[in-house]
Amino acid sequence: MNEASLELLSLLDIEQLELNLFRGIGTGGETSTRIFGGHVIAQALAAAYQTVEERSCHSLHAYFVRPGNPVVPVVYQVDRTRDGNSFTTRRILAIQNGKQILTMSASFHVNEDGFHHQHEMPHVQGPEGLLERAELRASVAEQFSEESRLQFMRQRPIEVREIAPRDFFDPPSTSDLNHLWFRVPAASLADTKLQQCLLAYASDLNLLGSALRPHGITWFQNTIMTASLDHAMWFHAPVQFDQWHLYSMDSPFSGGARGFNRGSVYACDGTLVASVAQEGLIRKYRPKTP
């Protein structure tokens, strides 16, 4: 089993410091230079879950306030906003060095029956036969410096297989439609709450890249600065994230140095398990004047 996947489970097992106060480790996971946005969202949700009983998260709304330092622990302060008959609301602050790096609200709901409909899962190639993320990266690793290559090729916790991977350095302009399969093998060890936290973590993967596709740019060209600004997620059905899930994404709009992106997460049987929306910064690097 992927050691990075097991490490991710341990990163989401956050420590309780005091009533409504928790601490998580920032290092590990997708990045080593700054805390991955999905990492903070997942830990914030894990903190909220420690104050909620017998209810499941149905939605969360987060704002990224500052970049996180991966070598500094993150403190999560949970405000018990409301405990109603059917819904529970929590507000979570993620804090480093006395400053907020993320604010998030999450709502939890009792299990209820109701009317049901959903959009069908897109008809796309299955994960079998697609190259894994590590294989794609290995094919171009020699184009990086030795130091950058170690970061580029480090083991990551989420297994990703893109349906139409782009050239890392010189991609053509293409549709904003963006499909990939992903899973966390170690999720077979996770309970229902942790399954949601893992999917929340993974939902920040490749989403902002949807807004880059029509413009023929990638992060590896060093011509743009990008950052997630906010992140919203709705859970529709139980998650079993050790199984493959399709992440179907698009970007209806970009402009004003921002890109808007949407995502739908489907289980292999076609069940829509979650929906995602995010706006991100996409800023051109400005050449320095002499």
Is there a catalytic annotation at residue 118?
A: no
Please report whether residue 117 resides in a domain: no
Catalytic residue among 105, 228, 254, 264: 228
> Mean pLDDT over all residues of the chain?
93
Catalytic residue among 176, 204, 242, 250: 204
pLDDT in tens, 55-111: 999 999 999 999 999 999 999 999 999 999 999 999 999 999 999 999 999 999 999
The residue written with tokens 């008959």 in the block is 85
Alpha-carbon distance of 77 to 188, in angstroms, equals 29
CA dihedral (84, 190, 2, 133) positive or negative = negative
> How many structural domains is the chain composed of?
1
pLDDT band at 134 (very low <50, low <70, confident <90, very high): confident
Catalytic residue among 5, 251, 275, 278: 278
Mean pLDDT of the 268-280 span: 98
Please report whether residue 44 resides in a domain: yes
Please report whether residue 175 resides in a domain: yes
Phi and psi angles of residue 181, each rounded to the nearest 5 degrees, phi first: -105, 140
Total-model pTM? 0.94
The answer to whether residues 65 and 100 touch, using CB atoms and an 8 Å cutoff, is: yes
Alpha-carbon distance of 215 to 194, in angstroms, equals 36
Going by the DSSP 8-state scheme, the letter that residue 286 receives in this structure is P
Please report whether residue 115 resides in a domain: no
Contacting residues for 190 by C-beta, under 8 A, at least 6 apart: 9, 198, 241, 242
Is there a catalytic annotation at residue 278?
A: yes
The answer to whether residues 278 and 228 touch, using CB atoms and an 8 Å cutoff, is: yes
Q: Which two tokens stand for residue 282?
A: 């996409």
Please report whether residue 151 resides in a domain: yes
Please report whether residue 185 resides in a domain: yes
Supply the pLDDT for residue 142. 84
Supply the pLDDT for residue 290. 47
Other C-beta atoms closer than 10 Å to the C-beta of 271 total 15
Is there a catalytic annotation at residue 204?
A: yes
Please report whether residue 125 resides in a domain: no
Supply the pLDDT for residue 79. 98
Supply the pLDDT for residue 152. 75
Of 189 and 289, the structure prediction assigns the larger pLDDT to 189
Instruction: Please check the confidence at residue 252 and state whether its pLDDT lies above 80.
Output: yes
Please report whether residue 260 resides in a domain: yes
Instruction: Please check the confidence at residue 259 and state whether its pLDDT lies above 60.
Output: yes
Supply the pLDDT for residue 221. 84
Ranges of H-type helices in the chain = 3-11, 37-49, 133-138, 146-153, 192-202
Percent of the chain surpassing pLDDT 90: 79
Here the CATH number for the domain that contains residue 219 is: 2.40.160.210
Q: Which two tokens stand for residue 137?
A: 């990266």
Mean pLDDT of the 196-214 span: 97
Supply the pLDDT for residue 260. 98
Which residue range forms the structural domain that includes residue 266? Answer: 3-110+131-284
pLDDT band at 264 (very low <50, low <70, confident <90, very high): very high
Most confident of 32-36, 91-95, 156-160: 91-95
Q: Mapping DSSP to helix (H, G, I), strand (E, B) and coil, where does residue 63 land?
A: strand
